[in-house]
Amino acid sequence: MKNIFLKHPTKPVKVASKDLAELLEEMRYVGFQGRKLGELTEAWVSMLQEDKIVIFMGLAGAMVPAGMRRVISYLIRKRMIDVLVSTGANLYHDCHEALGRKHYLGTPNVNDVILRKHYVDRIYDIFANEKGFYKTDLWIQNEFAQSLEDGYPYSSREILHLLGKKLSERKTAKNSILVSAYRADVPIFCPAINDSSLGFSIMFANRKPSVAKLRKGKAQKRIIIDCLKDVDEISKICEKARVTAGIYIGGGVPKNYIQQAAVIASYQTRHNRSHNYGLQITMDSPQWGGLSGCTLEESQSWGKYDANAKIVTCYCDATIALPIVAHALMEKAERIAERRKKPSFRWEKDSFKLKFV
């Protein structure tokens, strides 16, 4: 008579020559977060094999300053994700690098008041040139924002599409998240775009009239980013799609926004539009009660994930987990991703179309 809880022995990992994808497969048979990293990779591969799935990625934390830009850009180009929801900061820093500027290796063991005197801005162990940021701000304010329409209520998605397009003209921008997304027809949402240098630089364009406009005697224009339009748009994707996945790098607004879209879609359609997959890489923890650290199981109680959804949380710094998972996906799933039916999105006045091509 077997013990029902003791069915599958662990398989301690043997150190031997193998590729990363194989190592991650083996790690599914150990314990703790190592197992979770293996399971998360496996679940990502599974979802790429789903017919007609829309894969959302939520991106929070200073991932671009920390050198994760080309990894995200790779995931977009190879269509391992279909929609990106990001904090404003990641997109601002992507824009900064797309304009040819850099982030620098630094250290947290430093006197920040001295850094201030040198106009060096610190992000944990990354340093940046504040004067360079100022140039990026001015480019957004003067070059980009001036091309926006007066009085038209933009969604963040529309703004970021135009920004990707604008940046795509620049040679320095080839590994840009914004440009890759523009080219791959991957929409980017930034629900709190106002909460970043990207947002406030556009706001400055409202305050400071461009010389050219004033010369022509035109009144100062008013750029509007309508955050309700945003939530309308993203939820429509969930309304139309039958199979959806959320992959979260960190928590924050991007995680909630993707999860909320499933709730809205279920309200609207009066059908179950819960996500079918949920993958989360985070360093927050459940016991503080916040959304960033809560389990994906908790979210099942809200109907954000289906009762049968495949959900995996891996508690790990994303600068470790993300490059490792991305390389394993490259080894194992690049061809699978190529064969996928990819969603194509079209927003027009009063309608939204989702096709799989």
Rounded Cα gap, residues 259 and 298, in angstroms: 12
- Interaction with its own copies in 53-72: which residues (CB under 8 A)? 60-62, 65-71
State the minimum distance, in angstroms, from the CB of residue 159 to its own copies.
10
- x/- letters, 213..242, toward its own copies (CB under 8 A): ---------xxxxxxxxxxx--x-------
- Of 162, 184, 243, 264, the one binding its own copies by CB under 8 A: 264
* Amino acid letter, 318: A
Q: Is residue 121 near its own copies by the rule CB under 8 A?
A: yes
Rounded Cα gap, residues 75 and 182, in angstroms: 13
Nearer to its own copies, 50 or 125 (CB): 125
Q: Is residue 269 near its own copies by the rule CB under 8 A?
A: no
Q: Which residues are catalytic?
A: 304
Distances (CA, A) of 334 to 56, 69, 76, 82, 91: 18, 19, 12, 15, 25
Q: Is residue 196 near its own copies by the rule CB under 8 A?
A: yes
State the minimum distance, in angstroms, from the CB of residue 51 to its own copies.
25
Nearer to its own copies, 185 or 284 (CB): 284
Block residue for tokens 């429509």:
236
Q: Is residue 352 near its own copies by the rule CB under 8 A?
A: no
| b/e burial code for range 183-204 (CB count within 10 A of at least 16 → b) | ebbbbbbbbbbeebbbbbbbeb
Q: Tell whether the torsion through CA atoms of 315, 318, 319 and 321 is positive or negative.
A: positive
DSSP label of 141: I
Name the residue among 190, 225, 195, 197 with its Cα closest to residue 101.
Answer: 197
- Of 143, 170, 174, 267, the one binding its own copies by CB under 8 A: 267
Residues 6+ apart with CB under 8 A from 289: none
* The token pair that represents 47 in the structure block: 């979802």
State the minimum distance, in angstroms, from the CB of residue 170 to its own copies.
17
**Which residues on neighbouring strands pair with residue 247, listed in sequence order?**
57, 279
DSSP label of 29: T
- Give backbone dihedrals phi and psi of 139, rounded to 5 degrees, phi first: -60, -45
Contact 264, 277 (CB under 8 A): no
Q: Is residue 351 near its own copies by the rule CB under 8 A?
A: no
State the minimum distance, in angstroms, from the CB of residue 336 to its own copies.
15
Nearer to its own copies, 84 or 321 (CB): 321
- Interaction with its own copies in 306-335: which residues (CB under 8 A)? 307, 315-317, 319-324, 326-327, 330-331
Nearer to its own copies, 51 or 109 (CB): 109
Distance between alpha carbon 202 and the CA centroid of its chain, in Å? 21
| Strand 305-315 relative to strand 275-282, pairing | parallel
State the minimum distance, in angstroms, from the CB of residue 79 to its own copies.
14
State the minimum distance, in angstroms, from the CB of residue 112 to its own copies.
4
Q: Is residue 139 near its own copies by the rule CB under 8 A?
A: no
| Strand 83-86 relative to strand 53-59, pairing | parallel
- Of 25, 165, 303, 352, the one binding its own copies by CB under 8 A: 303
- x/- letters, 80..109, toward its own copies (CB under 8 A): ---------x-------x----xxxxx-xx
Rounded Cα gap, residues 158 and 233, in angstroms: 10
Q: Is residue 153 near its own copies by the rule CB under 8 A?
A: yes
- Of 162, 243, 291, 354, the one binding its own copies by CB under 8 A: 291
Name the residue among 68, 43, 52 with its Cα closest to residue 321.
Answer: 68
- Interaction with its own copies in 2-61: which residues (CB under 8 A)? 3-20, 23, 27, 29-35, 37, 60-61
State the minimum distance, in angstroms, from the CB of residue 340 to its own copies.
17
Kindly determine how many residues on this chain lie close enough to bind its own copies according to the rule CB under 8 A: 136
